[in-house]
C-alpha cells in the first residue's frame, strides 16, 4: 500500500490532535485549534467514516477511517470548496490545487496539493489511510486548506491511476465530507 510519507513525529502529533478532538462540543466539520474534522457521507446519507486533518510542523497530517464501502481501491482527494451537495457532489469543485499543477504523483507535472494515494477498502468494508501534505496549513500561509469557502474531501467509486489529469480516472464521487473554519 502506497501512502504519502509520514514521520513518526507526524503520527505522534496526529494522535495527540485526534485525542484532543474527542472532547465534547467538537463535531465533524468544525475546527478545534489545529485540527479539522469531516464526516464522510454518501448522497443517500449513508455514513462512510471520518477524516481528521491536523496541523503538523511541516504540513498537514491526514487520517482517513472509512467504513461501509465496496472492497477495493478508491481514489481520495481534497477538493477546493467546502460544499457536499448530492447526488454527485460536484459542488465541492475540483481538486485542491493552489500551485496549479496537474493531477497525480506519477504525472511529471503533478501533483495537486489535494491528491492522495488510493484508499484500500478490505473485504469487511473498512479502510484506513494516512497522508502528509507538505507545507499545507489549516489557516494562514501559502498552501491554505481552510480559506474563505472551506474545503471538502471526496472518496471516489474507483481507483485513481495517479497520473491522468484532472482526477485520475477515479470515477464518480461516492462520499463527501466538509471542513469549515471554526466558529
Per-residue pLDDT of the chain (183 residues; tens, 9 = 90+): 444 444 434 444 444 444 443 333 333 444 456 899 999 999 999 999 999 999 999 999 999 999 999 999 999 999 999 999 989 999 999 999 898 898 889 988 888 989 999 999 999 999 999 999 999 999 877 889 998 899 999 999 999 999 998 888 999 999 999 995 543
Q: How many Å apart are CA 52 and CA 130, to the nearest integer?
A: 10
CA distances from 19 to 14, 23, 129, 135, 154 (A): 8, 8, 18, 23, 24
d(CA 102, CA 75): 16
C-alpha cell of 73? 481501491
Domains and CATH numbers, the chain: 8-179 (2.60.40.200)
Per-residue pLDDT tens digits for 28-41: 444 456 899 999 99
Beta bridge partners of 128: 65
Q: What is the distance between the alpha carbons of residues 160 and 114, in angstroms, rounded to a whole number?
A: 13
| CA of residue 152 relative to chain centroid, distance | 7
The CA-to-CA distance between both ends of the chain, in Å, stands at 37
pLDDT in tens, 80-118: 999 999 899 999 999 998 988 988 899 888 889 899 999
Q: Helix, strand or coil for residue 18?
A: helix
By the 8 A CB rule, do 119 and 129 touch?
A: yes
Amino acid at each position: 500500500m502506497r501512502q504519502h510519507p509520514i514521520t513518526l513525529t507526524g503520527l505522534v502529533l496526529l494522535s495527540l490532535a485526534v485525542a484532543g478532538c474527542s472532547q465534547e462540543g467538537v463535531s465533524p466539520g468544525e475546527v478545534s485549534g489545529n485540527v479539522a474534522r469531516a464526516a464522510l457521507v454518501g448522497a443517500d446519507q449513508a455514513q462512510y467514516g471520518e477524516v481528521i486533518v491536523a496541523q503538523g510542523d511541516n504540513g498537514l497530517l491526514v487520517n482517513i477511517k472509512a467504513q461501509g464501502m465496496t472492497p477495493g481501491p478508491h481514489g481520495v482527494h481534497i477538493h477546493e470548496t467546502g460544499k457536499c451537495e448530492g447526488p454527485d457532489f460536484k459542488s465541492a469543485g475540483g481538486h485542491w490545487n493552489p500551485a496549479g499543477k496537474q493531477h497525480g504523483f506519477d504525472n511529471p507535472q503533478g501533483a495537486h496539493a489535494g491528491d492522495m494515494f488510493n484508499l484500500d477498502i478490505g473485504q469487511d468494508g473498512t479502510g484506513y489511510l494516512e497522508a502528509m501534505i507538505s507545507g499545507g496549513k489549516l489557516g494562514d500561509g501559502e498552501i491554505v486548506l481552510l480559506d474563505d469557502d472551506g474545503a471538502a474531501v471526496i472518496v471516489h467509486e474507483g481507483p485513481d491511476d495517479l497520473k491522468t489529469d484532472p482526477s485520475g480516472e477515479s470515477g464518480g464521487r461516492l462520499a463527501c465530507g466538509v471542513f469549515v473554519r471554526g466558529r
